[in-house]
A = this chain, B = another copy of it.
């Protein structure tokens, strides 16, 4: 950030009065510009318990890798609405949300990802501008080495473990390191 989005004056990085973190401050109109984490919401769509719906990414980052339908939450919607919207947009699938399943703080990129466990009532879905391929994978056929993100690996691994136990608790995970540095799904 170099310019004030309110008045167009240049901004200065400094700690405002009664604050303890540096912010971009406009010396002209006194606006303080805050930057905060963004929410990514999506679904883990399950069909007949043992199939999951994955999307092959048609866009960067991780183009060509498989992911769950998920994306940035928009203003003036709920987290569930965001997850359902992303599932409709990316996979052309209508799902029924069962419960909030994973909450992941991806600390180094300032994102919080919410994945809802959802049921796909019929095997109906389609490609989209963001997904070059959309298909159901049996849990025994998940392309583990072709998954786009650690959060996706985690959600699928949790689901397989939880299905065996018959319990699907909320999983809260913090990820503090960039991909490739440390890949334990629990951290």
Which residues of chain A from 20 to 60 have a CB within 8 Å of any chain B CB?
21, 33-39
Known contacts A3-B7, A5-B5, A72 near B39 by CB under 8 Å: no
A3 near B2 with CB under 8 A, answer no
CA of A110 to CA of B82, assembled, Å = 12
A37's nearest neighbour on chain B, judged by CB, is: B73
Main secondary structure of the interface of A (DSSP, over half): loop
Neighbouring B residues of A39 by C-beta, 8 Å: 36-37, 39, 112
Q: A18-B129, A105-B80 are in contact. Are A75 and B4 (CB under 8 A)?
A: no
The residues of A with any CB-CB pair to B shorter than 8 Å are: 1-8, 10-11, 18, 21, 33-39, 72-81, 100, 103, 105, 107-108, 110, 112, 129, 170, 172, 174, 176
Can you list 17 residue pairs at the A/B interface with Cβ under 8 Å? A1-B5, A2-B6, A3-B4, A4-B5, A5-B33, A34-B72, A36-B39, A36-B73, A37-B74, A39-B39, A73-B112, A76-B110, A77-B105, A78-B105, A80-B105, A81-B105, A100-B103
